[in-house]
Structure 1
């Protein structure tokens, strides 16, 4: 589902991807804190380059593909496919902390939606959401992009807008971490976010035309940083 965003859909997207939505996103840095501590990112330009690679070649791209595939599986009414995508999303994490980052946020996201924004179970995707979150066979752990893809489909939000909002939120959260940890000025952080707008647009378009065979990352330094962060002596963030 693509196209213009209705007022209701916009309201829900702004809510679900808001920093105020209680998933604890502000406590995660995606390994960025370790890179900053090691001297790999110390300026706004270095941050822009780092995040561009994460979006185009790392978790940004792969998570967008997972989210898109989940969205479409939910619209098709495939409970098992969504369950398999959730298991795949957890299995793909390269480190303990990255597993925590996606599973803690995804599970908290689903729990909050159940408590505050339950989708209409009469729709096809709403029935998938209900089937995976009720009864003896309910999922107990969700990777964040799969959780978000399912909820956006169940609330009938446009796919392209949902992917864009997800990637913008992901990027803004990492910029916020860098503003605190480098530190950078707030205006420098906003300039980085503005510079990454075309990158996010391109990743969104590619994710909507990709399949599961396209999953994969080549951001080895980011993966190693997330592993090294587990034993970092002094730290502000959980990942």
Structure 2
């Protein structure tokens, strides 16, 4: 029986992090589009560096911290509401705010296919990592695996954006995903032990690119 539950948890995690899950993550570049226009991300090597910087020091790290906190707080509606408030407040730009809120709302709506009481505890406009962490915990999906899958999905989204923006090819994208496995595993292990006190970033160029994208002329992405 325990093995059956483990397989069920894995299947749900795979479904939730699948590109086919209807959250609309393909619509966002997280500021990468502006960095490409500015010439800061010119090729596959730069795209790889961009991904690893966000993982270790930027928005993906902060998302992992929020996810871990929400996972541990999945039965506490007040704690989830406070985490959602903090997540929205720390969004570095209007586009980043809309991205995390819209992805979170879409995730909660789609996750309703697997009914669970945790969905009622989540506040409206819950940031994406808060929603993901709480739902995963409710369904008994282990924390480290959830964080790793979430980060892998985030990296995949950025790599896909880079391919569509023409700075890397499909083969380059696969190579970046392969090379990022160790970093994803390391960041996931750190995030499991994290608290909200570990929130913070040192990615000024990425953060300002996300802000400046709001006034970019021709755009493929919503962020």
Give the TM-score normalised by structure 2: 0.95
What does 1:148-167 align with in structure 2 at a 5 Å threshold? 148-167=132-151
Aligned to 1:142: 126
- The separation in 1 between residues aligned to 2:164 and 2:42, in whole angstroms, is 12
TM-superposed CA distance for 1:6, in Å, is 1.9
Structure 1 equivalent of residue 97 of structure 2: 99
Distance 1:54 1:131 in 2: 30
Distance 2:106 2:173 in 1: 27
* 1:199 alignment counterpart: 183
For residues 169 and 200 of structure 1, the distance between their equivalents in structure 2, rounded to whole angstroms, comes to 10
Answer whether contact 1:36 1:182 (CA < 8 A) is retained.
no
CA distance in 2, matches of 1:27, 1:6: 32
Partner Cα distance (1:117, 1:153) in 2:
13
Matched positions, count: 219
Q: Judge conservation of contact 2:47–2:167 (CA < 8 Å) in 1.
A: no
1:227 aligns with 2:211: yes
Question: What's the RMSD between the two structures over aligned residues?
Answer: 1.1
Inter-partner Cα distance in structure 1 for 2:25 and 2:217:
22
**Deviation at residue 113 of structure 1 after TM alignment:** 1.4
1:32 pairs with 2:32? yes
Q: Which residue in 2 is equivalent to 1:135?
A: none
Q: Which runs of 4+ in 1 moved over 2 A?
A: 129-132
1:131 correspondence with 2:121: yes
Match of 1:8 in 2: 8
Residue in structure 2 matched with residue 86 of structure 1 by the alignment? 84
Following superposition, the deviation at residue 130 of structure 1 comes to: 2.4
Which runs of no fewer than 5 residues in structure 1 stay unpaired?
A: 133-138
Give the distance between the partners of 1:107 and 1:86, measured in 2 at CA. 12
Counting only pairs closer than 5 Å after superposition, residues 41-190 of structure 1 correspond to structure 2 as: 41-74=41-74, 77-114=75-112, 116-119=113-116, 121=117, 126=118, 129-132=119-122, 139-190=123-174
Name the SS of the counterpart of 2:215 in structure 1.
Answer: coil
Unpaired stretches in structure 2, ≥5 consecutive residues? none
